[in-house]
A and B are shown apart, each in its own frame.
Chain A
C-alpha cells in the first residue's frame, strides 16, 4: 500500500470534546482509518456536518469541512458535490440531524443517488440538548421530554427507509467494533452512489438503555450468516428485524448494495464537460441569446 499520507496526518490539531466513552470516538477513528486506507488527499475530501455532538467531527480531521446548521448537512453536501464532483464528499451527523429535522433531505438525497457517503452516529437520544427523545429512541424510553410513560411513537428505521428510498449502499455498524466500522466506512466511500452507514454509537451520558453492553449482547454480523446484500428482498427482511419485529438480535453489516445504478452526477447534463468549478463563466453567444427575445 502507498503510504504517502500517514494515519496521523488525517487528524487535525483540535481534540474532540465528546464525553469520555462516547461512541463517536470510534466513528472518528474508523473514518480516519478508512480515508487513510484509501489514501485520499485531505484537500480533496469535504466533510459536511449538521448540528449535534457528532456534528463536531469535521473539526477533528485535516480535510476541508463545513459545519452546517441543524438538519441541513445533506443539502449543503449535495450542492458542494454537484459543484465539484471531484471531491470526496462525506456527511457526518447524528440521528436527530439526519432522521429527525433533516429527514426530508436524507430521503431525497438517497433517491437522487448522489455519490456521497452519509455516516450517521445514531445514539437514539438528543445529547447536545441534554437528553430528549430522538426519532430513533425506542418505544417506552423515558427521556427529559417523555418523562411519564416514555416515548409513545414508533422509532424511525433508517435501514429500510434507505433501501426503499434508493440508497445504493446501506449498512449498519457499531462503535464497539472499530475494525468492522472502518471496513464498512471504507467500502461506503469506495461505493459509487449514495451510501448510508448507520453507526450505533452509544451516548454514555443520556442513554442508559442502549449502552455498549446492550449492543454487545445483541449484535450479530450479517456477513457471517450468509446474507447476500445484492438481494433486495433479503435486505428488507433483515432491515425490519430490529427494532420492528424484536429487540433481542440486532443485525449489523452490509444490508444492501447495488453497483449498477448510475449516480446523479453521471446523469446531470451540465456536468458532462467536467466539474462546474472548472467551467468557463458567462454567455458565449450574446447575440444568439438576445435573438430569443426579439
Chain B
C-alpha cells in the first residue's frame, strides 16, 4: 500500500485529553516534515459529551482536513459507536480492549482492530488517567513508523525541565504502546518517507495575531467568545514581551470603542469576536467610519443564528459585516483563505485602516481560525504605512481634520500634537469638525456640505478597491464549470476540483475572493466572462456572497451549494455537488 497522506482521528469525552493528544500528534507530524491540517469537532461543554479531533498529514500541501480516518483512536465506547464505520479500508482502530467493544460487522474491508489494554498499561506507570492517551499515541507513532524522537521532544516541550519525572513516565508509556503494535501485526506500512525537517504549524487565529504584531498592533480589547477567544489568549501571552496592551473588557461594546479610542490616539488597535459580539459592535464601527478613525475588527464566524452552535463553523455573517452600522460608511472586508493569507491580510488591514482612516473588517471562521495547519514562508517584516498625517495637510493654521480631498482621505492629527486640536464627531460635521447636525442641518449651504462630506468619505472606497487583493481564478481557463467561493471554503473546493478531474475527467476551475468588499466588479466580470456554468459554494443558507455577487455585477450563479449543518465542507461534499451539476 502506498499513500501520499493519512488521516488520524481520536475521539472521547470532553476532559479526556482528546485535543491535547491530537495537538501533540500534529506537532510530531509537522516535525517529521509533513504538511498538517487539523479539525476539532467539539461541543459547548467542559466535561463529557463527545468530542473528536482529526489530524491529516501528508507529503504535499494539503487542502482540507480530509475525510475517512486511516487510524481511529477510541477513548470511549461512544467514539467506537459513532466512528468505526468511517475508518478507511486498510486502516486501523485502536481502542482499550478492557472497556470498549468493537463491532466487526460495521467495519469496512481489511480494517485492523487493535485492542490494547490502554488503561491497564498506563496505570502500571502512573495513576494519571490521561496517561492512556500517551500509550495510544506511542502505538500510533509506531503504526505510522514516525521517528520516536519527536515523541520525546513533544513531551519535553509540554512539561519541560520542571517535571522531568512526568516526561520520563510519558516516554515509557509511549514506548509500551509502540511495543504493543509489534504483537498486533506491526506498522501499517504506508510507504511514506519522512523528511524530518520541521514545518511551522499555526492556527488561523494565531496567524491573525502574528499579522497584527508584525503590522505594529499595540492594542487589543476583546471579550471572550468562541471561536475568537484564542486571539486574545495568544496576544495576552505575548503582550508583555511585545509591549501590547491586551485587555479583556466588560463587553464587545467596550472592546470596539476602546479600540477606536486607542486608534484615535494614534496606536494601531484591534478587536476580535464572533457573530454575537460583532452584532454588538456595529454602531461603534459606524462611528469609526464617521469619525474617520482607524481600527481593525476580526470576525471569526461560528454557526448562527443567535447563540447558534458555538463550537461549529459557518460563513453566515457576511451580511452582518456588509451591513454593520446605520447609514453608509466606507469599509473593507477581507476574507483570508489560508493561515498564510490570514497573516498577510491582517497585516494589510492595519495599513488600510490607517491609510483610509476607517474600520477594516477581517472575516474568518472557526474552521480556519481554530484548525492547525503547517505553513510556508511567513515573512514577519511587513511594511508599515501610517497614511496621511497633520503635517501632510499644509500649514497648521489651515489644518482641517476633515478637509475635502480627491481621495477622500484628510490629514490626521494625533492628540498631543501642538496646534492641531480638533473634535472628532459622530454627528455629521464640516471640514473643521464643527457639527452640522445641531443648528445648521437643513440650511441650504449645509445640505450641500452634508452631501460633500458623505461623498468625501465614500470616495475612499475607490482607493480601497485598488488596494485590496482581487479575486483569483484558479484552475484551467477552459473549464466546464466554475466554482465561486470565499474564505476557508477555498481548500475543500480546490481539493474537490482536483478529485473530479482525476477520477471523472471533469474540468472545473475556481473563482476565489480574498476581498469581499469593496467588490471587485471588473475583475469578476473578466473572470466569469467565458464561464460555461457557475456554482457558488459557501457555508450559509441564503447564499450571502452569491447575492452580493449578483447585486454588484448582475451575475447570478447558475447553481448554489450552501452548507449550514455546522460542519466544514469536505472535498467529498463539493465533489458530489459538482457531479450533480455537471451531469
Contacts and interface: CB of A to CB of B under 8 A. Distances in A.
Contacts of B427: 67
B283 interface: yes
Contacts of B244: 270
B56 to A, nearest CB: 18
A289 interface: yes
Interface string B237-250: 00110111111011
A104 B223 CA distance: 14
Interface stretch (A20-28, A191-199, A278-286): A278-286
B261 A78 contact: yes
A59 B435 contact: yes
Interface stretch (A80-88, A204-212, A253-261): A80-88
A64 B269 CA distance: 20
A167 interface: no
A276 B219 contact: yes
Interface stretch (B117-125, B377-385, B518-526): B377-385
Contacts of A58: 423
B92 to A, nearest CB: 29
B254 A105 contact: yes
B257 to A, nearest CB: 4
A159 interface: no
A66 B378 contact: no
Question: Considering residues A66, A87, A273, which has the most beta carbons from chain B within 10 angstroms of its beta carbon?
Answer: A66
Interface stretch (A39-47, A119-127, A215-223): A39-47
A69 to B, nearest CB: 5
Contacts of B259: 79
A276 B262 contact: yes
Contacts, number: 196
Interface string A258-294: 0000000000111111001101011100100110011
Given A43-B419, A283-B214, A270 B239 contact: yes
A46 B265 contact: yes
A76 interface: yes
Contact of B257 (A75, A81, A87): A75
A80 B381 contact: no
B262 A56 contact: no
Interface string B414-434: 111111111111110000001
A117 to B, nearest CB: 15
Given A105-B253, A269-B239, A276-B245, A83 B424 contact: no
B236 to A, nearest CB: 11
A183 to B, nearest CB: 25
A42 B284 CA distance: 27
Nearest to B426: A69
A263 B266 CA distance: 22
Contacts of B425: 59, 67
A276 B246 CA distance: 12
Contact of A79 (B215, B258, B434, B435): B258
Contacts of B435: 56, 59, 67
B261 A271 contact: no
A108 B254 CA distance: 10
Contact of B267 (A17, A42, A83, A272): A83
Contact of B438 (A17, A41, A75): A17
Contacts of B245: 82-83, 268, 270-271, 276
Interface in B393-428: 414-427
A108 B251 CA distance: 10
B202 interface: yes
Contacts of A82: 219, 245, 247, 258, 262
A200 interface: no
Contacts of A289: 210, 213, 380
Contact of B260 (A42, A51, A79, A108): A79
A270 B218 CA distance: 9
A111 to B, nearest CB: 9
A279 B218 contact: yes
Nearest to B374: A293
B70 to A, nearest CB: 25
B264 interface: yes
B198 interface: yes
A72 interface: yes
B254 A75 contact: yes
Given A43-B416, A72-B257, A87 B265 contact: yes
Contact of A76 (B218, B257, B268, B418): B257
B381 A286 contact: yes
Contacts of A41: 418
Interface in B21-49: 30-31
B202 A293 contact: yes
A252 interface: no
A271 B240 CA distance: 9
Interface string B206-238: 100010011110110100000000000000000
A59 B284 CA distance: 20
Given A108-B249, A270-B245, A276-B245, A281 B384 contact: yes
B415 A64 contact: yes
Contact of B201 (A78, A269, A286, A293): A293
Contacts of B475: none
A17 B284 contact: no
A293 B340 CA distance: 13
Contacts of B551: none
A56 B427 CA distance: 10
A294 B247 CA distance: 28
Question: Considering residues B264, B265, B418, which has the most beta carbons from chain A within 10 angstroms of its beta carbon?
Answer: B265
19 contacts: A64-B415, A65-B424, A66-B423, A75-B255, A75-B258, A86-B416, A87-B265, A269-B239, A270-B244, A276-B245, A281-B218, A281-B268, A282-B215, A282-B380, A282-B382, A283-B210, A283-B214, A283-B242, A283-B381
Given A72-B257, A79-B264, A104-B251, 4 more contacts: A43-B416, A66-B423, A79-B265, A84-B265
List the 6 shortest-distance A-B pairs measured between CB atoms, nearest first: A79-B261, A281-B216, A79-B258, A286-B380, A75-B257, A83-B265
